[in-house]
C-alpha cells in the first residue's frame, strides 16, 4: 500500500503562505517526490521562479494567468476573463491530480480564487475527495472557509502580528515577490 497523502492549508493575513508552500515543495522534492506548483492570480515574474528552475524536473511550476491587475482594479469584463482563465487552469490541474502525475501539488492562491467567486468551493472539495490516496495537496490563500478547513488535515493560520506595510514600506523584490 502506498503512503497516505494529506491536505495542507496555509491561510491568514500574514507573510509566509506561499513561501511555506514553496519550502514544503523543496523539502518534498529532496525526498524524490514529484512536485507541481500551480500559481493562480499571479502573472508577473517572481524571483522564486528563477531558483525553482534549478530544481526541474522534480519541481515544476505552472502558470497560465494572463491578467496583470489585482481583482479590486478589474472591470466587469476583465473579471469575466479572469474567471474563465481560473476555471480553465483549475480543470487542467484537477486532471493532472486525478491522473496521479505528481506526489505533491501546491495550489497557490487557490483560496483567493475561491473567495473571489472565480471557482466553486464544491469543486475544490470534490477534487480533495477524489484525489489519489497518496497525493499530498497544499492550498494557500487568505480566508479559508469552514468547509475547506474541515476537508484538510493541516491548517496553519498565519497571522500578521507585524508587517512593514503597516509602516508604509511597499513590496520588495526578492522578499515579497
Residues that bind a second copy (CB under 8 A): 3, 6, 8, 10, 12, 14-16, 18-24, 26-31, 33, 46-52, 54-55, 58-59, 136, 149, 152-164, 167, 169, 172-175, 177
Rounded-to-integer distance, Cα 113 and Cα 120, Å: 9
Q: Which is nearer to a second copy, 79 or 155 (CB)?
A: 155
Residue 101, beta-bridge partner list: none
Q: How far is the CB of 6 from a second copy (least distance, A)?
A: 6
Mode of pairing for the β-strands spanning 35-39 and 104-108: parallel
Q: How far is the CB of 82 from a second copy (least distance, A)?
A: 24
Q: Which three three-digit cell numbers place residue 34? A: 514529484
Q: Which is nearer to a second copy, 85 or 109 (CB)?
A: 109
Place of cell 495537496: 137
Q: Which is nearer to a second copy, 86 or 97 (CB)?
A: 97
Q: How far is the CB of 161 from a second copy (least distance, A)?
A: 4
Dihedral of the alpha carbons of 8, 11, 17, 22, in degrees to the nearest 10: 20
DSSP per-residue codes, 13-27: SSTTHHHHHHHHHHH
Q: Which is nearer to a second copy, 102 or 118 (CB)?
A: 102
Amino acid at each position: 500500500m502506498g503512503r497516505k497523502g494529506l491536505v495542507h492549508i496555509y491561510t491568514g493575513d500574514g507573510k509566509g503562505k506561499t513561501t511555506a508552500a514553496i519550502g514544503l515543495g523543496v523539502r518534498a522534492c529532496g525526498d524524490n517526490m514529484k512536485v507541481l506548483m500551480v500559481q493562480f492570480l499571479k502573472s508577473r515574474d517572481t524571483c522564486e521562479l528563477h531558483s525553482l528552475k534549478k530544481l526541474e524536473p522534480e519541481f515544476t511550476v505552472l502558470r497560465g494567468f494572463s491578467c496583470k491587475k489585482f481583482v479590486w482594479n478589474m472591470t466587469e469584463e476583465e473579471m469575466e476573463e479572469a474567471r474563465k482563465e481560473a476555471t480553465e487552469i483549475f480543470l487542467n490541474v484537477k486532471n493532472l491530480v486525478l491522473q496521479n502525475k505528481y506526489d505533491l501539488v501546491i495550489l497557490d492562491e487557490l483560496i483567493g480564487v475561491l473567495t473571489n467567486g472565480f471557482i466553486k468551493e464544491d469543486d475544490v472539495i470534490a477534487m480533495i475527495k477524489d484525489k489519489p490516496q497518496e497525493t499530498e495537496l497544499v492550498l494557500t490563500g487568505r480566508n479559508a472557509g469552514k468547509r475547506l478547513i474541515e476537508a484538510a488535515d493541516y491548517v496553519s493560520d498565519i497571522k500578521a502580528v507585524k508587517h512593514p506595510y503597516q509602516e508604509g514600506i511597499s513590496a520588495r523584490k526578492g522578499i515579497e515577490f
